[in-house]
Structure 1
């Protein structure tokens, strides 16, 4: 009796490759992605914002409600040095006059006053992360991307081994728990840092797995539109997070608000179907057939019986001379020749033994993986480097944030059109060149010309976003179904290594921190006042 396997692409062409069922499920995935973006954006951009700060001046500042802008800072704080103040002769005096301070002696600060015009609270104000300790503000961001790196592999393996639905449910559970635990354990910097790793891990699963599910459920001609359009909803989620950050300036309240919608995802994911392609690779053909019939019923179509057993999977193929040869490693969802309608059939799984390691035995797939890894590293470094550097850009912080977010939309759109007209490779090269040249040119413009610099940075963000959209789809199409999610995860992991380095750029380029030290803050005077003192 001949043995056969299901060709899902042929079935989709008959029951609808983007019918009512796919539209509803895809909209659900888009909404879930937009909601899941909120905690990550808030963690990266708003909670780690470092406001302007200065020394608290004893005898001058109001201890209970100090104000950042005060007239006495002209003669109590050295110009351009927010970490020190001038020595006060009489610490017990009630007066605050210029004559009370010696501008030849400076001392390190033990207490600080923050500018709360942008945010009332942040990590910097929560743990007094100033001066030599300010680089620690970027540590949660670096740890977040380390979690994303870990999630690229963990959720790739879970998704391929236990199913796309299981991976999604786990990601939703983790991201919900982390959202509330951050608030409960906010007094501990170490605890928040650990939770940032888990948030990054879950956030990766909340984008990577829905992306794979989206492109696996639709026909070939819909993979690029669906894969690209999913990026629009990440941008939408980021813009919503910006609006919430503008309205809520306290990081704890903001955390609670962005976490609350995630509870809605639990109800939806219980109804979430498994990927048909994954079911086929696992040998669960009866479950796959039931889901296929459900899709056909929802789309108002029917599936022909012969399409449920369309490809000969007997294990050998006949050459022209009649000699049997072992079948080459292949994608289980590729097109195949139709069999006779009168032939007796039996549905069996599609080469379930093919794994990611099996695929890597192919020289062609190894070369594809190497090139994809290089592309992921470069794109992530540029994209996330611009995200975490937003506070250092000239102009208003929230204006820059929204303009940078909107700049992603033309990048995704141009990549969509480019992939359709020019192909994946050419579009990716053009997007990376646009992003790289624009960012480098922006760095060459003097600080006295903020507008041209900002325009070039937006063009850089546009190019980086377009390259990001292309590389996800390009990578997913380069590998067979049985190893697709793991391959995307490995590439994403490499990209996250560069994303981990991005937050540290702000520390390396800040001339206020020539060296990083964890030594205790102590009072000392300048060498000009006391020549024998080592500062």
Structure 2
């Protein structure tokens, strides 16, 4: 239908793609806000005899020093998460990814079942907006931790549902290139977050400013987004799928001729599996259903799933580890985060250009090797006491490599699995990345202590 009648990527798909992908921008704000919420504010000595600029706040009495700008600048100053309590910073960040781990699996399945792609996107955006605003007014550390856990849970479903919803209406010859553009929106969210954090006078205002765009998205953008016709088809609702396709064809200036209709055809999954085996089950009303058990039941898809789980896990450790570790470099935090986001942009363009020439696998392996090599170089520079700018450059190149990897693995994974289990497979792969991301905050805390110990 897309290739012959509707058009594979006309102005209707372009507008729909942009509107859906804006969800990645607000998701980036909710996910990466921890960088600024967790920073350690500067402190100064009070006029006493025992305090100097070289003193350690862990060794001084609390009456000898104070936080510059007050206690409300970050969770560290607000709840005294220093010294023996510093592990709680890594804990709250890890709990965000624990929530994302759970949310990716649950919302991935719901997106393939009765809620649909758009239904899941609406639900998780509502959760993010409400819980994000509640986080701004949390008065205790444990309340804050619980709210960040819930935010992670809802964020785990945003990227997944929006990626599939944005790309399933695009024809096969354009889908790969256009899918590479999704992550421009995530990087843009990080860049905007740097500006928001710069003007936010306190932790409370930071979360208020981050939550407001989600409310705007719910009210001004989501009503104009269409459900995926592919989801309608696997639910046996071909008439509604046809309505969406006719609407898009009309907007593209290519109306579908009378008499052209869709038929539910599920046999396209068959070539992935063993001969004479059924890929999915059919209910009496004609709906097709599939679960992760179907993925692991057959050798071909089982091997693919295991490999992608490892790739997602490794990519997440590096990406979030580098992003969160910016606080330990000593360079301007707002500028560093902004530059890292800028460094991601060329990776998306280069990946899209090379995609057809080199294929998925070579680009994925090359980008991960580049990122890992730069991380090792940063270790060398740090051990030699080199300038901070060298560490920033290594971080930017490493982020460049991981951005190329993340830019590709969503598309790569989606292409490896049939429609009826695509979101479930993406959900499991995304869960693997969240397991990797859970370890990154503790690595950052350990890096801070190791650096302080060397000094």
Question: TM-score, normalised to structure 1's length?
Answer: 0.77
2:10 is equivalent to residue 19 of structure 1 = yes
* 4+ residue runs over 3 A deviation: 10-13, 69-73, 75-80, 108-112, 304-307, 309-315, 325-330, 348-351, 353-356, 510-515
Structure 2 residue aligned with 1:91: none
Structure 1 residue aligned with 2:309: 373
Structure that is richer in helix per residue: 2
Structure 1 residue aligned with 2:39: 49
Structure 2 residue aligned with 1:523: none
Structure 1 residue aligned with 2:442: 504
Structure 2 residue aligned with 1:329: 279
Q: Could you tell me how far apart the structure 1 residues matched to 2:80 and 2:434 are? A: 29
Structure 2 residue aligned with 1:494: 432
Match of 1:167 among 120, 129, 143: 120
Structure 2 residue aligned with 1:128: 80
2:63 is equivalent to residue 81 of structure 1 = no
Shift of 1:242: 0.3
Shift of 1:126: 1.2
2:94 is equivalent to residue 142 of structure 1 = yes
Q: 1:260 to 1:285 in 2, by over 3 A?
A: same
Q: Could you tell me how far apart the structure 2 residues matched to 1:245 and 1:189 are? A: 20
- Report the count of equivalent residues: 443
List alignment gaps of at least 5 residues for structure 1.
Answer: 1-9, 54-67, 86-107, 318-324, 333-347, 516-535
Contact kept, 8 Å, 2:46 with 2:66, in 1: the verdict is no
2:292 is equivalent to residue 356 of structure 1 = yes
Structure 2 residue aligned with 1:442: 378
Shift of 1:80: 4.4
Question: TM-score, normalised to structure 2's length?
Answer: 0.90
1:237-248 matches, within 5 Å, as: 237-248=189-200
Q: Which moved more, 1:443-452 or 1:270-279?
A: 443-452
Structure 2 residue aligned with 1:261: 213
1:416-455 matches, within 5 Å, as: 416-445=352-381, 446-455=384-393
Shift of 1:25: 1.1
Q: Deviations over 1:466-512 (max 9, x none)?
A: 10111111001000000001100100101100100000012223337
Q: Could you tell me how far apart the structure 1 residues matched to 2:398 and 2:160 are? A: 24
Shift of 1:351: 7.0
2:208 is equivalent to residue 272 of structure 1 = no
Q: Could you tell me how far apart the structure 1 residues matched to 2:99 and 2:232 are? A: 28
Q: 1:310 to 1:149 in 2, by over 3 A?
A: closer
Q: Could you tell me how far apart the structure 1 residues matched to 2:265 and 2:450 are? A: 68
Structure 2 residue aligned with 1:180: 133
Q: Could you tell me how far apart the structure 2 residues matched to 1:18 and 1:258 are? A: 32
Give 3-state SS (helix, strand or coil) of 2:66's partner.
Answer: strand
Shift of 1:158: 1.1
